[in-house]
Structure 1
C-alpha cells in the first residue's frame, strides 16, 4: 500500500460513506471502490462491508484504519527529515490557525516569511481555536496559533493581548444593557464563556438578543449601522472611530483580557523549517508589524 491508499482508508473511516469519501478525495466512486478491492486483495482480508447505514468496517478494517493515521504521520516524518538534511530551508510548513488570525494577520506573516525563504510551501488549516489546539495535540500541524488561554503543556510564545469591549454606535451605559438589543455571533467556547460569566456577574436576567450572526466581523458591521450593541474583542474595533467602546471589567475593575498564543511541540524545532518559522514569529510584533 502506498501513501494514497492509507489516506483513502483514513478518509473513508471518517465518512463511513463511499460517495462522500469519493467527493472529498476528488475521485470517482468506481475508482474508489476498485482501490479498496485492491487493498483487500493485497491483505487477503475484507476491509469494509456495505450496509443500510453506509460503509461498515470489519475488525481487520478498523485495525488498518487506525494504522492509517500512524502510517501517514510516519511517512510525513520521513519526508520532513529528508528535507531537513539539506542546507536550504525548504519543504511544507503545516500550520493550524484560528479564524481571525487567518483573515487579518496570516497573509502578511506568510508573505514576509516566503520573501525570506522562497522554497517553503504552506499547508494551512483554519478553524476555531479549540479545533486548532486539537490539531497541534495530534501533531497534524507543526505550529498552531490560538486565541485564548487553553491548557497546553508544550512550548508556547505569547503574541498579543486584547480586551473585550462593548461596542455601540451611540453612547450607552453598562447598566442599560439588559434593555438594549444585542447582536450575538458565533465564536469560540472560551470567549463565549468569558462573556457569559461577565454577564451573570453583572445582571440577573439574560440579554435581549435581537440578532444572531455568523461571526464577529458581521456583528461589527451590524453595530456600525445602529442595529444594536455587540461584545467584541478590541482587535476587531481598532482604528474605527465610528464606534464607541467600553471594556468589560471584573469585580476589581480590571479589564478582561484575552491572549493569543503560538503553540508547538518542542521536538518540532528539530526541523530547521519549523525552528526558522518559530524564531521568525517571535521577532514579529503582531499589533504593529502586520
Structure 2
C-alpha cells in the first residue's frame, strides 16, 4: 500500500460513495475499486460493506481508517520537518469573529501578530458570537473573539480585552425613543428584538423569569448586527453590547437605553484551547499566537 491508496481510502470513508470519491481523487470508479481490493488483500480483511445502494465501513474498516489517518499525518509531519529551514514561522491562522469583532478587537491582534510573524496569514470565519466557542472546540478556528462566560471554560484559555454593558437600542426615527418606567414596565410593553442564543439571551431569559416579566418579542435573530438591522426598522428595541453601537455603521441612528446592572457587562476577549495538538507547523503558529496574546498583559 502507498500514501495515495491510503488517501483514497480515507476520502472514501468520509464520502461513502465510489463515484464522488473517484471524482475527488481523479480516478475512474473501477480504478478506485481496484485500490480498495488491493488494500483488502494486503490487510487480509474486509474493509467495506458495499452493495448497490450504500457503502459502509466494517469494524475492521474503522480500525484501518484510524491507522491510515495516522500514517498520512506522520507523512505530513515528516514533510514539514524535512522542509523546515530556520525559525521563520509560516502558515495560516484560522480565527472566528463576529462582524463587530472584525473592526474593533481583531485588527490590533492581527497587526501585533503579523508585525512579529509576517509570514503568518489569517483566515477569518465570521458569524454569530454565540458560535465562537464551538468553532474553537471543533478546531475550525485556533482562536475566537467572543464574550467570555463568567464561569470560565473547560480546557480553554481566555484573554479579556474590553468590558462593555448590554444596552437596549431604539431607532431614532422609530416609535420607541421615549421610554419611561421601570425595566419591568418597559420590557412588558415594548416589542423586543433579541438574539436567539448566546450570553445576552441567557441573561435576559434568567432575568425575566426572576421578575415574572412576560415580554413581547418581535423578532429573534443570529448576530448583533442583525439585531440592530431589525431594530433600525422600528420593529422594536434591540438588545446588544454597547461596543456594537459605538463602533458599527449604525452609530448615530439609535437612542441607547441602559439596562443598568440588570443584565451586567460583557467581558469580551479571546478564546483558545489550553493545549494544542497537531502538525509541527500549526503548533508553531499556536505558540506564536499565545506569545502575542500574552503581550496584552
More deviation, 209-218/224-233: 209-218
In structure 2, what is the Cα distance between the partners aligned to 1:156 and 1:17? Answer: 41
Q: Aligned partners of 1:87 and 1:153: how far apart in 2?
A: 32
1:58 aligns with 2:69: no
Deviations 1:115-165 (A, max 9, x none): 5433224455566123223135xxx75444443325233544223333222
CA distance in 1, matches of 2:258, 2:53: 51
Could you tell me whether the CA contact under 8 Å between 1:186 and 1:216 is conserved in 2?
A: no
CA contact (8 A) 2:159 2:271 kept: yes
Give the deviation of 1:284 after TM superposition. Answer: 5.6
1:245 aligns with 2:256: yes
Q: Are 1:95 and 2:67 counterparts?
A: no
Q: Does the Cα contact within 8 Å between 2:9 and 2:65 map onto a contact in 1?
A: yes
**1:172 aligned to 2:172?**
no
* 2:281 is the counterpart of 1:274: no
Larger Rg belongs to: 2
How far residue 228 of structure 1 moved from its aligned partner, in angstroms, is 0.9
Q: Tell me the matched-pair count.
A: 274
Provide the secondary structure at the position in 2 that maps to 1:196. helix
Q: Which runs of 5+ in 2 are unaligned?
A: 172-176
| More deviation, 6-15/93-102 | 6-15
Which residue is equivalent to 2:244?
A: 236
- 3-state SS, counterpart of residue 138 of structure 2: helix
Between stretches 193-202 and 125-134, larger displacement belongs to 125-134
Q: TM-score, normalised by structure 1?
A: 0.71
Contact 1:183/1:219 (8 A) holds in 2: yes
Give the equivalent residue in structure 2 for 1:42. Answer: 39
Match of residue 217 from structure 1 = 225
Q: Secondary structure at the match of 1:237?
A: helix
Equivalent position of 1:288 in the other structure: none
CA drift at 1:28: 7.2
Show the counterpart of 2:174.
none
**1:77 to 1:133, Cα distance in 2 relative to 1, 3 A:** same
CA shift for structure 1 position 217: 0.8
In structure 1, the gaps of 5 or more residues are: 286-290
State the Cα distance separating 1:5 from its structure 2 match. 6.0
Distance 1:93 1:254, change over 3 A: same
Corresponding residue SS for 2:235: coil
Task: State how far apart, in whole Å, the 1-side matches of 2:148 and 2:142 are.
Answer: 19
After TM superposition, the structure 1 stretch with the greater mean CA deviation from structure 2, 215-224 or 95-104, is: 95-104
TM-score (norm 2): 0.70
Q: CA deviation at 1:60?
A: 1.7
Change (3 A) 1:163 1:39: farther
In the superposition, relative to structure 1, how do residues 218 and 146 fare at CA in structure 2: closer, same or farther (>3 Å)? closer
1:262 aligned partner: 271
RMSD: 4.0
Cα pair distance change 1:266/1:63, threshold 3 Å = closer
Cα distance change of structure 1 residues 108 and 157 upon mapping to structure 2, 3 Å threshold: closer
Structure 1 8/147 Cα, relative in aligned 2: closer, same or farther at 3 Å? farther
Q: Is the 8 A contact 2:7 2:72 kept in 1?
A: yes
CA contact (8 A) 1:92 1:123 kept: no
Deviations 1:189-214 (A, max 9, x none): x4432232123223432x32223334
| SS of residue matched to 2:163 | strand
Relative distance call for 1:225 and 1:125 in structure 2 (3 A) is closer
